Amino acid sequence: MSSQHSQHDDESVVESQSVKQTQPSSQGLDFGREIHENVWGSFYPLVKDMKEVNLFKPKLTYRIGRSLHNDVVFPGYKISNKHAEITWDGRETKDSIIMLKDNSSNGTYVNGQRLGKGVSRILPDGAEVAFGSPGPSSTQPAEDYRFIFRHTASGQQREDGFYGLYDSHDQLGRGTFASVVRCLERKTGILWAAKMFSNLLTGGGSSSLGSRSNEKMVSREIGILQTLSHPNICFLKETFITEERKLILVLELIEGGDLLEYILSSSGVSEEITQHITYQLCLALSYVHSLGITHRDLKPENILLTKSNPPDVKVADFGLAKAIDSQTMLKTMCGTPAYLAPEIVMQTNMQGYDNLVDSWSVGAIVFSMLTNASPFIEDENQPDIRVRISTRTVDWRILREKTSNPMSKS
Ligand code: PIT
């Protein structure tokens, strides 16, 4: 166990005698990486300062609960005396099965789903298990008994590469080319976001996706992303290409959702917070522009927010748009690309626009924050998206109505 997880060992998790006897004496083990051959399963806490729980062979069933009669004791007030039971079928093969049984009043949750009192289910490798409540409580942060379960019964360590180094979890978002999932770095216990591309490197046909040159462009772009270091830009930690030639980016985990959700959830953003967000957005843009990088696809969905109040901005999806030509971009767009500058839509090759397109997007985004609406009046019946974007006009009335600036009122 790593030192950062060792502070509250005795209070938070009391393990049975058998656990203590068989636990390897080297407690400086990498978090979750070195799987001891006597361990058939491990619970890795999602909260810092909580100790991991290892389940040792040959004991097949571990009882979990508040009372000291259990093999694993969680002293939380939402934890039942006899909360749950976990059982390994004793097989040392890859297809061995581990069952989790819920005996509790407040619930045992697997990947957010409550099992129900008396109900057992197979516990897969990498599942998130929560005891007592599905997520952290805002009033009782110490009452967070959420873990990632690793099924290690076969004693096999996973290969290196993304799936060897990380456990992937719940989905954070889904786009046209990729989905983003929360993941746990086994070595450190740090949570990250993994953006998994479906076919960016392997797609084929007439589209520009999937060609070798496209792959090169993506790699070059990733190289740029890795050099970016700014508090308002989502940090790219590392990248992987899987055997199926799928691209995975490991990114800073930002848990406050995106700006689109934020605007919609509060039906628009106050001027004060709009100012706060816009300022940070401009800091990020000024930084990347100074490095000769243009985002080109800025929109509220690509602006991630931290959970703080007011939220801080982390711009995401830098540069990947470059790997996809404008034709493909237009084809894959849903609805109206309100934040896209007309010169991007009108251009026929990849040249001819610059950093100003990001400024255009900032304007449209500010408008959306203040009004909870798109800035443009456009012909919804116009089938050609190029004509539609280049002929639309700005609906200033709605901005005048919503903002408090007396100068803007007519
Ligand atoms: C998160 C949460 C989330 C999405 C992302 C990160 C994505 C970040 C990102 C994606 C990119 C890129 C830079 C950052 O180039 O829902 O923590 O393609």
358-383, pLDDT tens digit by residue? 899 999 999 999 999 989 888 888 88
The answer for residues whose C-beta is within 8 angstroms of residue 234's C-beta and 6 or more apart is 193, 251, 252, 254, 304, 314, 315, 316, 318
Helix segments in 182-325, DSSP class H: 212-227, 259-265, 271-290
The reported pLDDT for the residue numbered 272 is 96
User: Which atom of ligand 1 is nearest the CA belonging to 222?
Assistant: 15
Q: Which CATH architecture has domain 259-404?
A: Orthogonal Bundle (1.10)
- Identical topology for domains 3-154 and 178-252: no
- What residue type is 74 in one-letter code? F
Q: How far is the CA of 252 from the centre of ligand 1 (A)?
A: 7
The reported pLDDT for the residue numbered 5 is 29
Which are the catalytic amino acids?
Answer: 297
| Whole-angstrom distance, CA of residue 46 vs CA of residue 191 | 8
Residue nearest (by alpha carbon) to ligand 1 atom 17: 253
Name the band, by pLDDT with cuts 50, 70 and 90, for residue 213. Answer: low
User: Which atom of ligand 1 is nearest the CA belonging to 193?
Assistant: 17
Beta bridge partners of 56: 39
- Determine whether domain 178-252 maps to CATH 3.30.200.20: yes
User: Which atom of ligand 1 is nearest the CA belonging to 172?
Assistant: 16
Q: 0.85 exceeded by the pTM?
A: no
Q: Which residue has the higher pLDDT, 300 or 186?
A: 300
Q: How far is the CA of 192 from the centre of ligand 1 (A)?
A: 10
| Whole-angstrom distance, CA of residue 368 vs CA of residue 354 | 23
Q: How far is the CA of 69 from the centre of ligand 1 (A)?
A: 45
The reported pLDDT for the residue numbered 344 is 67
> Token pair of 19, please?
């656990």
The reported pLDDT for the residue numbered 321 is 38
Measuring from each residue's beta carbon to the nearest atom of ligand 1, which residues come in under 6 Å? 172-173, 180, 193, 195, 225, 234, 236, 249, 251-254, 304, 316-318, 320
Residue nearest (by alpha carbon) to ligand 1 atom 12: 317
User: Domain coordinates of the chain in residue numbers?
Assistant: 3-154, 178-252, 259-404
The answer for residues whose C-beta is within 8 angstroms of residue 206's C-beta and 6 or more apart is none
Residue 279 has pLDDT above 90, yes or no: yes
> Token pair of 340, please?
């896209």
Mean pLDDT for all residues in the chain:
78
DSSP state at residue 147: E
Name the band, by pLDDT with cuts 50, 70 and 90, for residue 404. Answer: low
The answer for residues whose C-beta is within 8 angstroms of residue 129's C-beta and 6 or more apart is 43, 100, 108, 109, 110, 123, 146, 147, 148, 149
Q: How far is the CA of 83 from the centre of ligand 1 (A)?
A: 37
Q: Which residue has the higher pLDDT, 407 or 103?
A: 103
The reported pLDDT for the residue numbered 3 is 29
- Determine whether domain 3-154 maps to CATH 2.60.200.20: yes
The reported pLDDT for the residue numbered 253 is 96
The reported pLDDT for the residue numbered 347 is 60
Residue nearest (by alpha carbon) to ligand 1 atom 18: 317
